[in-house]
Homo-oligomer: A and B are copies of this chain.
Amino acid sequence: MTSEAVARTKGPVRIVGTGLLGTSIGLALTKLGVEVLLEDASPANLKLAADYGAGRPAEASDQPKVIVVCVPPDVTSAVVQRELDEFPKAVVTDVASVKSQVLEELRDCSADLTRYVGSHPMAGRERGGAISGRADLFVGRPWVISAAPESSLAAIAAVEDLAIDLGSAPLKVSANEHDRAVALVSHVPQLVASLLAARLIAAEGSDVSLAGQGLRDTTRIAASDPKLWTQILAANSSEVAPVLKAFEADVHAVVESLENLGMPGSLAQISRALEAGNRGIERIPGKHGTKQTTYAQVIVMIADKPGELGRLFNEVGDVGVNIEELKLEHSPSSPIGLVELYVLPAVEKKLITDLESRGWKIAG
């Protein structure tokens, strides 16, 4: 997709930290023909990333134009500071998930902020490390660019060019706004999912056997890396704490109502909490950044064996209907799969008619 493109970024680009993000950035830039210099505190990690094709190990004589710091949040500001000092002509950015703390720490040590622009690509995977790196990790994702008031226009442009080269959509958001936003849409949901999942530890085995898709969805991200997340939450504690505290107050009110159902207003309080949830998820934008659309659901039963999905989707393609969302649901106790297709309401009937005429079993 990008093989014929000309890179906007002028190299060499130095990448400090060759984990998932650093390696992915290196892979993408290398594909674009930009010279990439890799650095990592661990020689083994460094060698792995270089072997994967993310760039070559940095040398003392290198003069990078752009430096991307991709180290854990707790050491980000120290490494940014070191890079600013060591390469007095380079633009330095970082990719840490929390932006204000890094900026404050850099101010505290009087770093040259004209050449620093914090950023945060909104991309990742549950698995980390160079081994999970991929050149297209950032394609189509927002890339938050949190320029400081001191940042020079040239430095901002360099980081924007980097984001664009990697296929991302640059999104200018101040460090404070960024941290407030991710506290709400990422950090608090992470904690809530973890704490909810933790309730299952002491559960009877027979109890969890009644688990359905709702529990699976609400707890999926509880599988995330505790070490990384402890750092993220600590670095953004001032934004996370008030949101989690307000959530705690809401939980408390519902506990009180449940414990005192006979008291006037208790049922209404529970009902209001559930209604507020309805209104809350309406705020979440749908795919392609547009307003959430209500799709029609068409459920097809298939045998759970190789080729069935292929046969189904091939015929859906023949029908000419675009699948907007899909979900594969396995029956908990039989080898039958339910494929939930979500399509624009206008084409629902056509899809059902055409699939049934081809012999598919449609629910309903």
- A residues contacting B by CB (< 8 A) are 1, 122, 127, 132-137, 139-142, 144, 167, 169, 171, 173, 177-178, 180-182, 184-186, 188-201, 203-204, 206-212, 214-224, 226-227, 229-230, 233-234, 237, 240-241, 243-248, 250-252, 254-255, 258-259, 261, 267, 270-271, 273-281, 283-285, 287-289, 297, 299, 301, 304-318, 320-323, 325-328, 330-336, 361, 363-364
Contacts and interface: CB of A to CB of B under 8 A. Distances in A.
Contacts of A314: 310-311, 313-314
B281 A223 contact: yes
Contacts of A364: 132-134
Contact of A361 (B1, B140, B321): B1
A285 B251 CA distance: 27
Given A140-B336, A218-B192, A201 B276 contact: yes
A32 to B, nearest CB: 16
A140 B335 CA distance: 8
28 contacts: A139-B301, A140-B334, A141-B331, A141-B332, A142-B209, A142-B333, A144-B210, A171-B209, A182-B210, A184-B207, A185-B200, A185-B211, A186-B214, A189-B215, A191-B254, A195-B247, A196-B247, A197-B278, A200-B281, A200-B284, A201-B279, A209-B285, A229-B274, A230-B267, A230-B271, A289-B332, A310-B313, A310-B314
Given A217-B221, A284-B215, A288-B335, A237 B259 contact: yes
A178 to B, nearest CB: 8
B185 A192 contact: no
A259 B241 contact: yes
A246, A277, A311, A364: most-surrounded residue (chain B CB, <10 A) = A277
Contact of A326 (B171, B194, B217, B326): B326
Contacts of A218: 189, 192-193, 217-218, 220-221
Q: Which 10 pairs across A and B sit closest by C-beta, in order of nearness?
A: A140-B331, A310-B317, A194-B277, A197-B280, A307-B317, A222-B277, A198-B276, A226-B274, A287-B330, A181-B207
B199 A243 contact: yes
